[in-house]
Structure 1
Amino acid sequence: MIFRTIISACAFVLLPAIAFADPTGSYKVAGTSEDGSKYQGTVKVLRNGETYIVDWMIGKNESIGTGLGAKFSGDRFEMGPASDEDTAISVGYVSKENFGIAMYFEQPDGSWQGVWTYGGSEKVASEIWTRE
């Protein structure tokens, strides 16, 4: 009985540190552009066979991307078909004016933090996705 109580208590304490995985869902987005300006919006991530569809809405501007997933396995990342175990996602995207790449990693609190850039840029911008 005491052993079960200790195990249950340990699981409860460790629970906040366990990642939620699976990047699919709807998120609020907060970011900083390469020029330092702040922005907010939404992003939806859907699984599409072995890839992801990523659809951002920042103000009235929409960007659409295709993503590839990865998960941490032991001491390395394992890449493969999109999975509900993915803890990283890499996205190529297009917007009205340009194209770009982005990479996101799941954080212990369940948010996804990443960086992005667009074609021809010399700078990197940042973004955080928080589940709605």
Structure 2
Amino acid sequence: MTLPRIAAVAAAVLMAAMPVRAGAIEGTYRVEGKNPSEGSSYSGEAQIKQTGQTFAVIWRIGQLRQIGTGVVIDNVFSVVFQSIVPGRPAGRPGIAVFQIDNDQIRSGIWSTLGDDVTGQEVWTASDRH
């Protein structure tokens, strides 16, 4: 392998391992998901706002609202969340883990407390700050 090729490969590896810039993932995303137990699909949006070292996340899926707090380590965005439906008790807490690519949330999995299966979501940036 030639020296320029080695340098190019090394640069690509380093770029892939670089952590996300502060605030880079903020914005509104379109969400397409699949529920774990029945496999039904859903869509909606999620908003991310940096709040210091953490991120506030709000999902809007139909009448359902989920609020969460997220953290970023390298290119992984992890969020603890809870469902909120007006007039009902809060839902079980859950966790979601997403891949970050080019400073955007891409796809991930989620589950709620006590479940033994995971749901899936794909996020597409629609309004970035």
TM-score (norm 2): 0.71
The aligned residue for residue 45 of structure 1 is 48
Structure 1 contact 99–118 (Cα < 8 Å) conserved: yes
Structure 2: segments with no counterpart, 5+ residues? 1-11, 85-90
The number of residues matched between the two structures is 102
The aligned residue for residue 121 of structure 1 is 115
Runs of at least 4 residues of structure 1 off by over 6 A? Answer: none
Match status 1:55 vs 2:49: no
Query: Where do 1:1-132 residues align within 5 Å?
Result: 21=20, 22-34=24-36, 35-71=38-74, 87-96=75-84, 97-107=91-101, 110-132=104-126
Structure 1: segments with no counterpart, 5+ residues? 1-13, 72-86
Structure 1 contact 23–89 (Cα < 8 Å) conserved: no
1:107 Cα deviation (Å)? 3.5
CA RMSD of aligned residues (A): 2.3
How far apart in 1 are the matches of 2:79 and 2:96?
5
TM-score (norm 1): 0.69
Structure 1 contact 107–113 (Cα < 8 Å) conserved: no
